Amino acid sequence: QVQLVESGGGLVQAGGSLRLSCAASGRTFSSYVMGWFRQAPGKEREFVAGMSGSTYYADSVKGRFTISRDNAKNTVYLQMNSLKPEDTATYYCAAVRGRSSPIPPPLRTYDYWGQGTQVTVSS
C-alpha cells in the first residue's frame, strides 16, 4: 500500500511557472513507476508525464514540463514552465510497482493515486 500526497498547485498567470510535489510513503519508493495525470472539468483524465528508467511526456507539455524524482525523499516533482490556460486542471500523482516492466509509463495501469492539487492558469 502506497500513500501519495500532492502539493504545490495554485493560481498563476499565463507564462508563469509552478512546481508540483508528490510525497510518497513506502520503503521501496525507488522501485515504483511514477506518473502525473490531469483532469479538467468536462474532460477525461490524461497522462502528462511519467518516469521509469526514462521520462515520458504528453505532446502538449513536452518542452515545458519536467518530471523528476528524489528517492532519498520519496518525492516526485513536476516542474511546469510557460504555463498556458489550457493547462488548468486538477493534477494527480500516481504510482505502480515494477520499474523493470517493458510497458512504458503512458500505458501502465496505476494502482495508487493522490487526492490531486488544483492548477489554474489565467490569461
Q: Across all residues in the chain, what is the average pLDDT?
A: 95
User: How many percent of the chain have pLDDT more than 70?
Assistant: 100
**pLDDT in the model for residue 53:** 83
**pLDDT in the model for residue 29:** 83
63-99 pLDDT, tens per residue?
A: 999 999 998 899 999 999 999 999 999 999 999 998 8
DSSP state of 85: G
- Between CA 86 and CA 121 the distance in angstroms is 8
The grid cell for 22 is 508528490
